[in-house]
Amino acid sequence: MKAMLQRRLPLLTTGAIFAALFIAAGLKYEGFFSSNVAVNLFTDNAVLGLTAIGMTLVIFAGGIDLSVGAVAGFTSIFVATLIEQHGVHPALAGAAALAIGGALGAGMGAIIHWFKQPAFLITLAGMFLMRGCAFWLNTESVGINHPLYARAADIYWEFGPVGVPLVAAILAVGLIIGGVIGHTTRFGRNLLALGGNEQSALLMGLPVGASKVGVYAFSGFCAAAAGLVGTLYTGSGNPSTGIGLELDAIAVVVIGGTVLTGGRGHMLGTVFGLLIFGTIQSVLLFDGRLSPWWARILVGVLLLAFILLQRGLVRAVGKGK
Amino acid sequence: MTAPSPLLTLRGIGKRFPGVVALDGVDFTVRAGEIHALLGENGAGKSTLIKVLTGVYEADAGEIILAGNPLRAKAPADAERAGISTVYQEVNLVPSLSVAENIALGRQPGRFGFLNWRAIRRHARAALARLEIECDVDAELGTLSIALQQMVAIARALDLKARLLILDEPTASLDEKEVADLFAVMRRLRAEGLGIVFVTHFLDQVYAVCDRITVLRNGTLVGEYPIRELPRLALVGKMLGREITATPAAATAATAATGTPLLSARGLSRRGALHALDLDIHRGEVVGLGGLLGSGRTETARLLFGIDPRDGGEIRMKDAACGLRSPRDAVQLGLAFCSEDRKSEGILPNLSVRENLIIALQAKQGGWRTISRAEQERLCAHYIAALRIKTANAEVPIRTLSGGNQQKVLLARWLATQPELIILDEPTRGIDIGAKAEIEALIGKLRADGIAVIFISSEIEEVVRNSTRAVVLRERRHCGEIPGAELTAARLMQTMAGGHVPHE
Amino acid sequence: KTLTVGFAQTGAESAWRTANTDSMKNEAEKRGIILKFSDGQGKQENQIRAVRSFITQRVDAIVIAPLVETGWEPVLREAKRAKIPVIITDRTVQVSDESLFVCFIGSDFYTEGKMAADWLAKAVNGTGNIVELQGTPGSAPANERRKAFADGLAAYPGLKIIDSQSGDFRRSGGKEVMEALLKKHGKAIQIVYAHNDDMALGAIQAIEEAGLKPGQDILIVSIDAIKEAVAAVAAGKLAVTVECNPLFGPKVYDTVAKVLAGETVPKVSYNKDELFDSTNAAAALPSRQY
Amino acid sequence: MTDRLRHFLKSPVLWPLAGIFLLLVANLVLKPGFLTITVLDGHLYGLPIDVLNRGAKTLILALGMTLVIATGGVDLSVGSVVAITGAVAAVLIGQGTDSLVLILGGAIAAGGLAGLINGLLVARLGVQPIVATLILMVAGRGVAQVLTDGQVLIIKHEAFGFLGNGFVLGLPFTIVCATLLYLAVHFALRRTAAGLFIEAVGDNPEASRFAGLATARIKILAYVACGLCAGLAGVMEAANIGAADAQRAGENMELDAIFAVVVGGTALTGGRFLLLGSFVGALLLQMLITTMYNLGVPPAVAPVPKALLILTVCLLQSDRTRRWLGGLFKKKAAA
Ligand SMILES: Nc1ncnc2c1ncn2[C@@H]1O[C@H](COP(=O)(O)OP(=O)(O)OP(=O)(O)O)[C@@H](O)[C@H]1O
Ligand SMILES: Nc1ncnc2c1ncn2[C@@H]1O[C@H](COP(=O)(O)OP(=O)(O)OP(=O)(O)O)[C@@H](O)[C@H]1O
Ligand SMILES: [Mg+2]
Ligand SMILES: [Mg+2]
């Protein structure tokens, strides 16, 4: 039991830091403690959150996926173009986009595994490819006027005083599914084993190739889903969606205590990472006085402080066992 | 014994790596219900044969027949599915996962790909209990000692319902009790009709459990023998391809060392690792560190070498305080440390043998005073010859060498720095008989040259044979010291086990 | 009661944008208005997030400088539901329901591009080979200025765009692309149309380094009218720069005050954009603020 | 000799070289005047010279990046550091500093400081490199903007401008500078044991520490070197365009540098590095960009050829393809 606790330490620390951050912000800014702010953390970070789910699993396996932002961007404009300019039904367009995202991911995974190429480079190529294709489809954003979109924007689930919009709900469900895949399926555990030591995973008879291809496909799928949710969020498709998203997603995953070299991590950590990231953004907006450059420096400093704090806490508690 | 039908037949297996022919037309047969020893010097091709069998490598030639059907394993998963369970030479588990997960990985109980965590833990506990291992199944594997990790690896292999079990040097880091437990299990499995392949460098163990022996030398088959027809000396002769010369001389009963010690440690301690240890070492002494597994021997060595920070205590060299705080300081002071975990703490896998060999010397000299290429090559040539390191040349990456030969390169790395004190932590682990004798001879020579040696080994005989004095640790404390004159296996064992309270 | 206004800026991608931000901030300070400022860092998602946060914070009015035209409908609807007036500045938004925002105060990228084209056609009598230095692909000013210029040229078959590459709105980008284009087309290039001044200034460097005289051998047309560019016009290196006035502050807050007081305001109004060429650059130079 | 040839044929540098060659041929076919170099005022002009000139910055960044990647790290902050150092130089000049030594010293030292921060975070505090340098990547641009107050600062300084636009012996100063730096780094690494130490640390940090290497210090020095290189590149960028643009200077340059290093055959996992490979990789990248201008590829789809190039180089470099190609040749020889 103690060993269990020790292994979960980074996770607990992250959770504690989020709680502290949120409470501190609530005390400082009037109106911060509201269900709206909390739900907005999900709504406003749905695109980021969905990519982070796939990214978490990829990082579990010791890989990295830089293409997610571009895939989201491609999906966004792809869906909008299909619906608006070719009259395709949104459901069909969405399904096609998800299929493309998954297929691209699988392709990258296959190259990474069978040709033993660094994930960083191959997914970088994927990023250039998809971004180029996105702009090739259209350099401008396209508004989506399909009635289904208008209806989707109005979907709210009321839980007492809290109204949960569709976008937030999708993210929540996505996170749960991601957690289930990562922690209660063979596939998820194989990924962790793979990230912990690929040679060992192979010798232990795990399906290394299939897992790798699978996880990149999943990540591509998540990124496409993120692009779709982005079109719901804005009611339009934009080829510039998700520029720089990959770095944010990596940051979220790492803040959540998942180790970039693979083999160690937890989806719940990603949830906390996402919440911390969102809270920092909210605080900046509630403050609203910082000049943009100081805000950037502040984000950097906060990120640093956060990582050091996490480290310090884990070490201190680890010693005091 | 009735002659059981062959369970596994390998015929004419060939495998070449760039620059080396690792296997050349090797035949190998295992029957159901036997324990079959696969023996040979370092680099003879044992591990390679196993990896070809389980699909890690693709053979260049030959065929494999398992229970009458041709086996074409493309990956270890295929071999497992065919009923072959393997413990590879290097511990091959995932250090960042829990013990329970490591045992269950790839065959976790559960439905539709979803896992049943409770069953996984229960299952792991049962698997460990069968080997009488006590450890928390939720602990992260990487936090366990190598020996425990090895036991977990074995538990994992035994957990599989297999027809053929392969153990590649499983006992290298185990202590006697654990070895005994393992043997008990092996015998039981044999009785159940399993075929077992067992690789080891401990001849005692071969004669304790095995039924038949296959000997490899330089990638070729020497022969297959029933155990009774091949006495020890003949076996060694077959492995080496020559008669071994005189067994190494036992350490001369040492005159008690006097004068200022070369190194003296006082109150050396680190929470959770070592409790206030005093230790003096003189020039020309070989101090054997005795102790059971986990008694704190490696921790002592790590503290002496400045790898872990110490909480308290002082280290003096030649009676002068020295600010020994890091391995770098230690190397500058003339210390050397050959660590027990060569994979993660020893080799630089992708660098060449030459670079691995000179790195410590170069570190000692600092970055500016480079060792000339000619000098580097001279050093390599010297040590490759002196330690009989088997390698295509000095420029191949060290990871392509067999485990034992990697170990020899690491030894050479430290000898090249011409240390005043050398700490050898399990230097003979995974090393063949011939090389073992050479290392023992080397220790004698070092001693004669006035170099101090700290010698850590799980083989009691080895400690007794080579040490001029033994310091015994128990539960991370100094618990006794045995001067050379009184050093016998029985006495050492008694002190280690704690059956006898030493007078101090 | 002090007013609280939320301002969702696109980012800080250019000197123009910085001047725009400063104008909004300084004017708010002057009038004692609390300005909640958000830097979108060039991403619409961030801008939407900011607007949603302003709604949660119940500010009195929201000002948006939209990065792109589409994608605002859902969040504007939320603002309307919360009864917070929204003022769009700088460029317009496409929405199905015009009542979603109160009014639009704009500078018009399209008009700027058009002005540049018209000036050029007159200056060179409708003939010449043009290379175009585009802004960041997909960004609003790049899109609009490209389209407007092309539309403007349609009436002059003698004016041809012979090549078009992106310099990313960057000075170094403008220089690099210009170098390559000079090598490729050599003396064929008579006119350069740059989507912003930074690229134009980079192109001037490239032209000078190639041993040609900007202003004489090659005519350069650009947009933004940052101080340095106006100086370049005065020095004869740049032929013309179309001003895009960033000083929105006073007009925006006036409008906010009127809206909150219940007065009606015109749905669309433009900031006056000027044009600086050799005739007026030198005179305008001392009074340039950015 | 044949041995050497065989060695060369196996070298990873071969593929980026082949790539450059292919692009050259493509350019020549499509635009025969491509290779023409003319002399103007005693300076060489022509597209090939431009490629070298433009590639110089990426090249310098790639040199530093090679060291960091060899230690098993990566430095995402170089783009921001380029912006910072440009800003520092501009601010110094703006304040009336006239001594080139002071300006350069100040700016490049700022780069070194940034590298030091990265190094300390990675080596002393054990923060993962991507994360540690991500912090400076985000915050660094803010720092540059604070320095310039968000403006594009104009630089008017004759000697400083020479760094970006000057010519030495008919060649652009930038490429002369980059080549000299390459040689200096090469010899500093290979004539001393520094190169070996870096490779050892990247290959197995734990084992290196056990062998008596000052692992942390070596890593820190690698990051500092990378920061200094970024500083130099930043100065060059500012000198080249005569302005410091905090917002856009060095944007995405970290990706270019990493690209150059990896295409050049240095693995992202650390260990063995190939300085020459990074050099060639940087040139290949620039060659590709210039080719796209030359062919008039629409700017929006410009990333696509880049992606295809990465994929091609990666696939060609992989063992699998080589074995397959090798098999093909053998079959032909047999037939
Ligand atoms: N991956 C590889 N690449 C190149 N050569 C290799 C590789 N693996 C093994 N070899 C070479 O093949 C030969 C046989 O090695 P192998 O590991 O099978 O020996 P071994 O009998 O297991 O020795 P030990 O007792 O030391 O473990 C050695 O010469 C080794 O250098
Ligand atoms: N990295 C580590 N993390 C946690 N515990 C460790 C670690 N290394 C060693 N230990 C524990 O410290 C104790 C002492 O280990 P040590 O390796 O010093 O024993 P030893 O006497 O050298 O035995 P061995 O025969 O394994 O070398 C063991 O119980 C081991 O499990
Ligand atoms: Mg072996
Ligand atoms: Mg030990």
Q: In this structure, are B82 and B160 located in the same domain?
A: yes
Helix, strand, coil shares of chain A, percent, nearest 5, are 75, 5, 20
Q: Is the pLDDT of residue B293 over 50?
A: yes
CA distances from B263 to A149, B420, B454, B479 (A): 79, 10, 11, 20
Q: What value does the mean pLDDT take over residues D9-17?
A: 75
* Element spanning D38, H or E: strand D38-40
Return the minimum-mean-pLDDT range out of A138-152, B5-19, B77-91, D20-34.
Answer: D20-34
Tell me: do B232 and B318 sit in the same domain.
Answer: no
Ligand 2 nearest atom to the CA of residue B144, by list position: 31
pLDDT of residue B38: 92
Assigned domain for B440 exists = yes
Who contacts B86 (Cβ-Cβ below 8 Å, separation ≥6)? A203, B50, B54, B76, B79, B80, B157, B165, B166, B167, B168
Torsion of CA A93, A95, A98, A102, to 10 degrees: -130
> What residue type is A159 in one-letter code?
F
Of the candidates B434, B249, B443, which has an alpha carbon nearest to the alpha carbon of residue B336?
B443
**In this model, does residue B189 exceed pLDDT 80?**
yes
Question: Helical H runs in B45-167?
Answer: 46-54, 76-81, 99-104, 117-130, 146-159
pTM over 0.90: no
**Amino acid C248: pLDDT:** 84
Q: What digits encode the pLDDT tens for the residues D242-274?
A: 888 887 788 788 888 998 998 888 888 888 899
pLDDT 10s digits, A299-318: 788 778 777 776 776 666 55
Structure tokens at A217: 């496909």
**Nearest Cα to Cα of residue D198 among D267, D273, D275:** D273
Decide if A189 and B105 are in contact by the 8 Å CB cutoff: yes
- Is A295 within 8 Å of chain C by CB? yes
Highest mean pLDDT range out of B411-420, D93-102, D287-296?
Answer: B411-420
Domain check: are B16 and B161 in the same one? yes
Average of pLDDT values for B111-119? 78
Cβ(B458) – ligand 2 distance below 6 Å:
yes
Distance from CA of B80 to the nearest CA of A (A): 7
- Among the partner-chain residues C138, C165, C202, the one whose CB lies closest to the CB of D241 is C202
B473 and B429 share one domain: yes
Containing structural domain, residue B398? 346-418
Whether B37 and B170 map to the same domain: the answer is yes
Give CA–CA dist C58/C40, Å, rounded: 20
Q: What is the pLDDT of residues C70-105, one digit of tens each?
A: 888 888 988 998 899 999 988 778 888 888 888 888
Residues surrounding ion ligand 3 at CB below 5 Å:
B 47, 89, 403
pLDDT bucket at C62, cuts 50 / 70 / 90: very high
A and B interact (at least 3 Cβ pairs within 8 A): yes
* Nearest residue by C-alpha to atom 8 in ligand 1: B400
For chain C, how many residues are written?
290
What pLDDT digit, counting tens, does each position of C12-55 carry?
767 778 888 888 888 988 988 888 888 887 788 889 989 998 99
Does the structure's ipTM exceed the value 0.85?
no
What are A187-245's pLDDT values in tens digits?
999 999 999 888 888 888 888 999 999 999 999 999 999 999 999 988 888 888 888 88
State the distance from the centre of ligand 2 to the C-alpha of D214, rounded, in angstroms: 25
- Chain A / chain C CB contacts < 8 angstroms: 112
Residues of B in contact with A259 (CB under 8 A): 96
Domain boundaries, chain A: 35-242+259-264
Does residue B161 sit in the same domain as residue B235?
yes
Q: Give the closest residue (by CA) to ligand 2 atom 2.
A: B143
Which tens digits make up the pLDDT trace of C171-211? Answer: 888 888 888 888 788 888 999 999 989 899 999 988 988 88
Compute φ and ψ for A176, nearest 5 degrees. -65, -45
CB D146 within 8 A of CB D109: no
Ligand 1 atom closest to residue B89's alpha carbon, by position in its atom list: 27
User: Do residue B317 and residue B431 come from a single domain?
Assistant: yes
Contact C60, C29 (CB under 8 A): no
pLDDT higher than 50, residue B504: no
Per DSSP bridges, beta strands C103-106 and C86-90 are: parallel
- Mind listing the pLDDT tens digit for each residue in B366-380? 877 788 889 899 999
B54-86 residue pLDDT tens? 988 988 888 899 888 888 888 888 888 888 999
Whether residue B87 is predicted with pLDDT greater than 50 in this model: the reply is yes
Question: Given the structure tokens 């792809």, which residue do they identify?
Answer: A78
Q: Name the E strands within A256-297.
A: none
Ligand 2 centroid from CA B452, angstroms: 24
**Contacting subunits of D (3+ beta carbon pairs below 8 A):** A, B, C
Provide the CA A166 distance to its chain's centre, in angstroms.
Answer: 17
Helix (H) or strand (E) holding B177: helix B176-191
> What is the residue type of A309?
L
Q: Is the CB of B47 under 6 A from ligand 1?
A: yes
Half-sphere exposure of A307 (CA within 13 A, CB side): 25
Establish if B462 belongs to a structural domain: yes
Q: Determine whether the shortest distance from the Cβ of B457 to ligand 2 is under 6 A.
A: no
Out of B77, B79, B94, name the one closest to residue A200 (CB).
B94
Q: Does B364 touch chain D (CB under 8 A)?
A: yes
Q: Choose one of B16, B17, B197, B343 to mutate for the ligand 1 pocket test, by most ligand atoms within 8 angstroms of C-beta.
A: B17
Q: What is the pLDDT of residues C228-284, one digit of tens each?
A: 888 899 888 999 998 878 888 888 899 999 988 888 888 888 877 788 888 887 787
| Minimum-distance ligand 2 atom for the alpha carbon of B291 | 21
Distance, CA of A151 to CA of B180 (rounded, Å): 72
Asked whether the beta carbons of D66 and D268 are under 8 A apart, the reply is no
**Domain total in chain B:** 3
- List the single best residue of D35, D146, D237, D241 to mutate versus C (max C Cβ within 10 A): D241
Q: Which residues sit opposite D38 in a β-bridge?
A: D45
How far, in Å, is the centroid of ligand 3 from the Cα of C101? 76
Ligand found nearest the CA of B476: 2
Residues B353 and B264 in one domain: no
Residue B289: phi and psi, rounded to 5, are -100, 115
**Would you tell me which residues 210-269 of chain D have a C-beta closer than 8 angstroms to some C-beta of chain A?**
246, 255, 258-259, 262-263, 267-269
Distance from CA of B325 to the nearest CA of D (A): 11
Q: State whether A263 and B136 contact (CB < 8 Å).
A: no
* C44:A241 CB<8 A: yes
Residue C32 CB neighbour total at 10 angstroms: 8
Of B383, B418, B453, which one is at a domain's C-terminal end?
B418
Looking at the fold, whether B295 and B395 belong to one and the same domain comes out as no
Atom 24 in ligand 2: which residue has the minimum CA distance? B293
From the CB of B48, is ligand 1 less than 6 Å away?
Answer: yes
Residue C22 in tokens:
């400063």
- Last residue in a domain, options B401, B418, B435: B418
Pick among D77, D84, D122, D134 to test the A interface (most A CBs inside 10 A): D134
Please spell the DSSP secondary structure of B295-332, one letter per residue: SSHHHHHHHHTTSSPPSEEEEEETTEE----SHHHHHH
CA B302 to chain centre: 18
- Chain D residues within an 8 Å CB radius of B351: 196, 199-200, 203, 271-272
Task: Enumerate the H helices of D31-172 as residue ranges.
Answer: 47-70, 78-94, 100-119, 129-148, 158-165
**DSSP 8-state secondary structure symbol assigned to residue A64:** -
| E runs forming strands in chain D | 38-40, 43-45, 152-154, 167-168, 171-172, 243-245
Residue B4: pLDDT over 60 = no
Q: Is D210 an interface residue toward C (CB < 8 Å)?
A: no
D290: closest chain C residue by CA = C180
Task: Enter the tokens of residue A59.
Answer: 């990082």
Ligand nearest the Cα of residue B290 is: 2
Nearest to A54, CA basis, from A67, A43, A40, A38: A67
Say if residue B232 is in the same domain as residue B262.
no
Q: Where are the beta strands (DSSP E) in C199-287?
A: 219-224, 240-243, 268-270, 275-277
Distance CA(B113)–CA(B146), nearest Å, equals 31
Strands B20-31 and B6-17: antiparallel
Residues 6+ apart with CB under 8 A from B420: B262, B283, B333, B334, B335, B451, B452
Closest residue (by CA) to atom 2 of ligand 1? B400
Q: Which chain C residues are closer than 8 Å to D79 by Cβ? A: none
**Residue A315 pLDDT:** 67
Contact D141, C41 (CB under 8 A): no
Residue C196 tokens read as 């912003």
* Whether residues B158 and B85 fall in one domain: yes
Does residue B494's CB lie within 6 angstroms of at least one atom of ligand 2?
Answer: no
Please state, in angstroms and as integers, the Cα–Cα distance from residue B248 to each residue in B200, B234, B288, B450, D286, following that order: 21, 18, 17, 19, 66
pLDDT at res. B261:
80
**For residue A96, how many other CB atoms are within 10 A of its CB?**
16
Identify the domain boundary among B240, B270, B300: B240
The pLDDT value recorded for residue B253 is 47
Partner-chain contact D301 A124, CB within 8 Å: no
